Amino acid sequence: MSVATTQRRHINVGIAYELLNERIRRVLDIIFAWLIIIVAVVVSIALVIWASFLNNIGAHYESTLASPLSVICYILATGMVLAVVGSVGVLLRR
């Protein structure tokens, strides 16, 4: 068990969130969705730059998944784009 579980921190945060006013929860959800969008875009850009750098220097070594590291970078960037799509969905629902 983690320290947070033994000290019940995350449980208390969840309870505090549920006790908040609906309007405050909506604002927190919007802020969280925007933070996800910002972080995911920055990470996606960094991953694409790193993958293009690996391709430019001709890095042909493989990861433990038997695929080039540049391909894995592109896959991770795709995951970040999906996180952005999910956050936009949260924003549209609010």
* Per-domain residue ranges of the chain: 22-93
Query: Helix, strand or coil for residue 62?
Result: strand
pTM: 0.73
Q: Is a pLDDT exceeding 50 seen at residue 67?
A: yes
Q: What is the pLDDT of residues 29-56, one digit of tens each?
A: 899 999 999 999 999 999 999 989 988 9
In the DSSP assignment, the letter for residue 67 is S
Geometric angle at alpha carbon 46, from 44 and 50, rounded to 5°: 115
Q: How far apart are CA 29 and CA 83, in angstroms?
A: 14
Q: How far apart are CA 37 and CA 86, in angstroms?
A: 9
Q: Report the percentage of the chain scoring pLDDT > 90.
A: 40
Q: Which long-range contacts (CB under 8 A, 24 or more apart) does 49-57 make?
A: 51/77
